[in-house]
Homo-oligomer: A and B are copies of this chain.
Amino acid sequence: MQAARPLPNYLIQRYQGWKATTYSENSAWYRRLATEGQRPRAMVISCCDSRVHVTSIFGADQGEFFIHRNIANLVPPYEPDGDHHGTSAAVEYAVTALNVSHLIVLGHSSCGGVQGCLDMCQGKAPQLEEKTSFVGRWMDILRPGYERVKDSHAEADQARALEKESVLVSLSNLMTFPFVKEKVESSALTLHGLWTDIGEGSLEYYDTKSGTYQPV
């Protein structure tokens, strides 16, 4: 590996700040976590977006959340075909090895991935249609969501509606995994759909009864 470079100084300084404060104050707990292993209560699937850190929103400390982050917080359908499936692997590990109690999917406003999907489905982003576009092929997962959104919402509202659909598509796909379905049905695992507005700091959850998102 010839290309690697040392860490930029500003990150070294910040790391040393963390070491001297947060780590120093919690080293006993961190040592126990290292020795005894992690025992997270929930898995969170959220977006890579730099403006949405679930560790901040829920004040998640070391050891609490097993967090998978990908573009647009998507879970693909169950497809055990022997290929690499990073998201499915993370879900499998959390549910079958770590036995998390909650599986939370967190969507958010101004999602670039969702906007790309919208543009693609509306024929405005031909480059995303190409076979070689990883973002395009990843956002294919959300196409069924677009089908539900395109007629029921005015064009100005479709991006937000599709962001919220991205959470529901993921939850539906999660239920296609046998080990998820089984645990949900035996109440050993609960699923939760959330959506947050970056600017307003608001949080909504998907309410099954009404079939709508409600403020937390």
Chain A interface (Cβ < 8 Å from any Cβ of B): 1-43, 48-53, 55-71, 74, 76, 80-94, 97, 99, 101-102, 104, 109-110, 112-113, 131-135, 137-141, 168, 171-172, 175, 184, 187-194, 197-201, 203, 205-208, 216
Q: Are A50 and B62 in contact (CB under 8 A)?
A: yes
Considering only CB atoms, which chain B residue lies closest to A2 in the complex? B208
* Copies per assembly: 4
Complex contacts, A87 vs chain B, CB 8 Å: 70, 86
Q: Are B50 and A188 in contact (CB under 8 A)?
A: no
Q: Are B59 and A18 in contact (CB under 8 A)?
A: yes
Complex contacts, A7 vs chain B, CB 8 Å: 104, 192, 194, 205, 216
Q: List 18 A-B contacts (CB under 8 A).
A: A1-B206, A4-B205, A6-B25, A6-B205, A15-B203, A18-B56, A19-B201, A33-B199, A36-B39, A38-B49, A40-B50, A70-B70, A71-B86, A71-B93, A80-B131, A83-B83, A84-B138, A93-B113
**How far is A99 from B205 in the complex, measured between Cα atoms in Å?**
32
**How far is A191 from B15 in the complex, measured between Cα atoms in Å?**
18
Q: Are A4 and B193 in contact (CB under 8 A)?
A: yes
Q: Are A89 and B62 in contact (CB under 8 A)?
A: no
Best-buried of A66, A139, A191 by chain B (most CB within 10 Å): A66
Considering only CB atoms, which chain B residue lies closest to A18 in the complex? B57
